[in-house]
C-alpha cells in the first residue's frame, strides 16, 4: 500500500488574554503577542514540512488595535509560499471582546521559517499547492516580500 502524505498548510489557534500578559499601560504586552506569533508560525511550518523549523525573519508587525485582558485572540496562519527549504507563513490576528462580540483585526504578519534536519542543516520541503484565487494572491504577495527581503540583505 502506498503511503499518502497530507501537507496541511493552515492552522487556527485561539488564546485567552490573561493578566500575566499585561504591560505597564494595562494592555496586553506586544512581546506576549510576538511570542505567540512565533509559536503559531512554528506550528504551521513544522506541520506543513514535517520537520523541525527555525525562524529566519518576522515582517510587518504593526499593531492596529490594543488587546485587552479577557479578550480572545485568534491566530489564523497559512503557508503562503515555499522555497527549497524555506516558507512564508502569513498570520492574521483577530481579537474579540467576549461580552460585546466586537472583533478587531489587530495585525497581519509574515514569518519566514526554514525546515532543518537533526544537524540544523536546511532540508528540502514540498512545494505549496496554489489552487484557489486566494492562494494565488497570497503566493504573489509573498514573492514580492521575498524580493524586498533579498534587496535588504544585498545592502
User: Residue 64: which CATH number?
Assistant: 3.10.129.10
Q: Which domain holds residue 78?
A: 10-154
Give the residue from 120, 23, 15 showing the smallest Cα distance to 70: 15
**The whole model's pTM is what?**
0.89
Q: Which tens digit of pLDDT belongs to each residue from 69-89?
A: 999 999 999 999 999 999 999
Distance in angstroms (rounded) separating the CA atoms of residues 52 and 85: 11
Asked if residue 130 is part of any domain, the answer here is: yes
Q: How far is CA 100 from CA 43, 44, 105, 128, 146, in A?
A: 30, 30, 15, 38, 39
* pLDDT above 90 (res 1): no
Number of domains, the chain: 1
pLDDT more than 70, % of the chain: 95
Asked if residue 18 is part of any domain, the answer here is: yes
Asked if residue 1 is part of any domain, the answer here is: no
Asked if residue 5 is part of any domain, the answer here is: no
Q: Do the Cβ atoms of 53 and 115 come closer than 8 Å?
A: yes
Q: Which tens digit of pLDDT belongs to each residue from 18-50?
A: 999 999 998 999 999 999 999 999 999 999 999
- Cα–chain-centroid distance for residue 110? 6
Asked if residue 80 is part of any domain, the answer here is: yes
Amino acid at each position: 500500500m502506498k503511503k499518502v502524505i497530507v501537507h496541511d498548510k493552515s492552522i487556527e489557534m485561539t488564546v485567552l488574554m490573561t493578566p500575566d500578559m499585561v504591560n505597564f499601560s494595562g494592555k496586553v504586552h506586544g512581546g506576549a503577542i510576538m511570542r505567540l506569533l512565533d509559536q503559531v508560525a512554528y506550528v504551521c511550518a513544522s506541520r506543513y514540512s514535517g520537520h523541525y523549523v527555525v525562524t529566519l525573519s518576522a515582517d510587518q508587525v504593526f499593531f492596529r488595535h490594543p488587546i485587552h485582558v479577557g479578550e480572545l485572540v485568534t491566530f489564523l496562519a497559512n503557508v503562503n509560499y515555499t522555497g527549497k527549504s524555506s516558507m512564508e507563513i502569513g498570520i492574521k490576528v483577530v481579537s474579540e471582546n467576549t461580552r460585546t462580540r466586537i472583533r478587531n483585526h489587530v495585525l497581519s504578519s509574515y514569518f519566514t521559517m526554514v525546515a532543518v534536519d537533526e544537524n540544523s542543516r536546511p532540508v528540502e520541503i514540498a512545494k505549496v499547492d496554489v489552487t484557489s484565487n486566494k492562494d494565488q494572491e497570497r503566493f504573489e504577495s509573498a514573492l514580492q516580500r521575498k524580493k524586498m527581503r533579498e534587496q535588504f540583505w544585498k545592502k
